[in-house]
Structure 1
Amino acid sequence: MSNEIVVTDRITKRYGSQTVVDSVDLHVRGGEVYGFLGPNGAGKTTTLRMLVGLVRPTTGSARVFGRPPGDPAAAARTGVLIESPGFYPYLSGRENLRVLARYRGLGERDVDDALHRVGLAERAADRYRTYSLGMKQRLGVGAALLGEPELLILDEPTNGLDPAGMAEMRVLVVALADHGHAVLLSSHMLAEVQQVCDRVGVISHGRLVTESTVTELRGDSRLLLRAEPRDRAYATVAEFVEPAAIGRDGDGLVVDIAAGRTPVLVQRLVDAGVDVYELTRRERTLEEVFFQMTADVFESEELS
């Protein structure tokens, strides 16, 4: 697509005989929040480091704003927070950002704006070494925001934040996308990702398992059914949908079925003499989908 600002083509990184990232194709578009998900050690951070020119790929290629990673023109339009932010411990938060702003030809207004947006304006004069882990993470995001970059690459931006801080970061990320910024973030906080991301890429064992919208990944909602007698209820449902579409949840059944077919199923159950006690639509969470996908990849590799 014409508005894709990050594109990778089978990008791969090997260290000796170990393949850390294996032929990954990413596509990040302008104005979207893209969640990059995967278990620890899946290759997320290495991929992000390749996108900003900190690590050279073994094979494959990447383009950021149409240029190779690390190109000065692309770097000027990109804000980055990867792994733990590094600042001078004896300088204040404001002074640390001033140093970075000076290197980028930015002024005091840019520093003030960044501090305000990450909620550190009142603690800007305090030395960095006195900051909590969450405050250090906020300052790292503030550094990435200097100069209003068109693309933000954030590696675990909510690391160390309390629930209130996580909520504030969520609002900030959504606001950035609303103003046309693209945000590529990696995170293990799947509930947070579900609330803020437009699309996600899931990586496991170095391979991209899928790249899709959050809505498409979660799929259709499922039907939670509690009815008696249970064996007759199961048999009736099994005549209506494929057995693979039926699961169990305690004393109930979970059925993958389109909402429009639900009334017909209920009528079948009543006609079969089944008493229906509960009928609830339940949406799959991103966390459920994520664990299912990464478990499937692990099992397939174990069997190969």
Structure 2
Amino acid sequence: MEKVLSVKNLTKKFKRVAVNNISFDVERGNVYGLLGPNGSGKSTTFGMLLSTINPTEGEWYWFGQKGTDPDTLKKIGAIIEQPNFYPYLSAETNLKIVAEIKGTPYVRIDEVLKTVGLFERKKDVFRTFSLGMKQRLAIASAMLNNPEVLILDEPTNGLDPEGIIQIREIISNIAKQGITIIIASHLLDEIEKICSHVIVLKEGNSIYCGRVDEMTNNHGYFELKAENNSQLLSILEESQWFSSVTLEGDFIKAQIREDVSLSASALNQKLTEKGIFLSHLTKKKQSLETQFLELVKNTNNHA
């Protein structure tokens, strides 16, 4: 797979170390998440990659070329800060101004407005837009120059649930066009739903880089309930199938061991043979959130 971005040992020190020796690759056509809490180095990383912040050490390559020159920037669409449009001008007029700056033909304006679902509102002035619509117009402006890569810094920040879903759908539709997308977010749920790959940052350090589905590629756990939960609990604890068995409220959570392959129907059959009849049985996978918390906990233990 072709790399559109390769980051090698990137470091930025202010009064403290904001980004500490991070390395990762971004392959064409995927959606990457830069995940971490506020202050973990996401915006600083983007600043360096777009040449608005000078690195202390390290280097990066866009499309095989070292650094970020003006020609490279023409291939990248980015929203790093809050949308900055003229409040008393229409969406269309605002995009015409952006098109003039970028040297992009006006014909792209209707296309990008349709992409973000604002074509019907193109004559409306910017100040009448909701926060979600303003964010969608910002994405439209970043798409004007038909970029190969789209960079979005916290694209759903401050939005209500409906606005978050709209942005998520727009990002998915843009990704289907083959555009590589890099999203910075502190929201695990957002990364899990949108991204194919994730780079996890903690206090400027990269603690995981890889596919989202590999990060959540655990055997999962069963959630069970029976009329006699205490008997069920002791049978599960005696079995060799689970690494841990805990009672959580009315349900028992049984974590499947790494070396065990066990379906819900097979477990139900084994328990029935022992005289246990379940009123509830579901097999679940750990969420990205659980994986993330374990990852952070492990790095704390090693620190």
For residue 107 of structure 1, give the secondary structure of its aligned residue in structure 2: coil
Distance 1:276 1:129, change over 3 A: closer
Structure 1 stretches of 5 or more lacking a match?
Answer: none
Per-residue displacement from partner, 1:14-64 (whole Å, max 9, x unpaired)? 112x11111212221111111221111111111111111111221111122
The letter for the 2-side match of 1:238 is E
**Which residue of structure 2 aligns with residue 8 of structure 1?**
7
Q: Post-superposition shift, 1:77?
A: 0.8
Aligned position for 1:188: 186
> Hey, what does 1:107 align to over in structure 2?
105
For residue 81 of structure 1, the aligned residue among 79, 82, 98 is 79
Contact kept in structure 2, 1:222 and 1:256, CA below 8 Å: yes
CA contact (8 A) 1:62 1:68 kept: yes
Determine if contact 2:110/2:119 at 8 Å carries over to the other structure: yes
1:256 and 2:255 correspond: yes
Give the counterpart of 2:289 among 287, 290, 294. 287
Contact 1:92 1:126 in 2 (8 A): yes
Give the SS at the match of 2:65. Answer: coil
Which residue of 2 is the match for residue 300 of structure 1? 301
Give the drift of 1:184: 0.6
1:237 maps to what in 2? 236
Cα distance in 2 between the residues matched to 1:35 and 1:23: 18
Secondary structure of 2:262's aligned partner: helix
Aligned residue for 2:279?
Answer: 277
- Conservation of the 8 A alpha-carbon contact between 1:237 and 1:265: no
Q: Which moved more, 1:38-47 or 1:279-288?
A: 279-288
Q: Secondary structure at the match of 2:191?
A: helix
Cα distance in 2 for partners of 1:241, 1:25 equals 40
2:26 equivalent in structure 1: 28
Q: Which runs of 5+ in 2 are unaligned?
A: none
Picking from 192, 206, 209, the partner of 1:208 is: 206
Letter in 2 for 1:290: F
Change (3 A) 1:277 1:99: same
User: What is the TM-score when the length of structure 1 is the normalising length?
Assistant: 0.87
Contact 2:220/2:285 (8 A) holds in 1: yes
After TM superposition, give the deviation of residue 231 of structure 1 in Å.
4.3
Matched residue of 1:246: which SS?
strand
C-alpha spacing 1:40/1:242, structure 2 compared with 1 (3 Å): farther
The equivalent residue for 2:245 is 246
Confirm or deny: 8 A CA contact 1:240 1:265 kept in the other structure.
no
Deviations 1:171-216 (A, max 9, x none): 2222222221101112234333322211112111111121222222
Structure 1 292/248 Cα, relative in aligned 2: closer, same or farther at 3 Å?
A: farther
Correspondence for 2:90: 92
d(CA) in 1 for partners of 2:134 and 2:66? Answer: 30
Is the contact made by 2:33 and 2:191 (CA closer than 8 Å) also made in structure 1? yes
**Residues 137, 160 of structure 1: 8 Å contact kept:** no
- Assess, with a 3 A threshold, how the Cα gap between structure 1 residues 251 and 56 changes in structure 2: closer, same or farther: same
**Deviation, structure 1 residue 152:** 0.4
2:171 counterpart letter in structure 1: V
1:168 positional shift:
2.7
CA distance in 1, matches of 2:231, 2:287: 29
| Aligned mates of 2:68, 2:37 — CA distance in 1 | 27
**Shift of residue 154 of structure 1?**
0.6
Distance between the aligned counterparts of 1:82 and 1:14, measured in 2?
20
User: Counterpart of 1:289 in structure 2: which amino acid?
Assistant: Q
Query: Equivalent pairs: percent with the same residue?
Result: 35
Distance 1:231 1:174 in 2: 46
TM-score (norm 2): 0.87
- The residue that corresponds to 1:48 in the other structure is 46
Is the CA contact 1:236–1:268 (under 8 Å) kept in the aligned structure 2? no
Counterpart Cα distance in 1 of 2:29 and 2:204: 27
Alpha-carbon distance in structure 1 between the residues aligned to 2:245 and 2:205? 30
Distance 1:70-1:130 versus aligned 2 partners, 3 A rule: farther
- Partner secondary structure for residue 23 of structure 1: strand
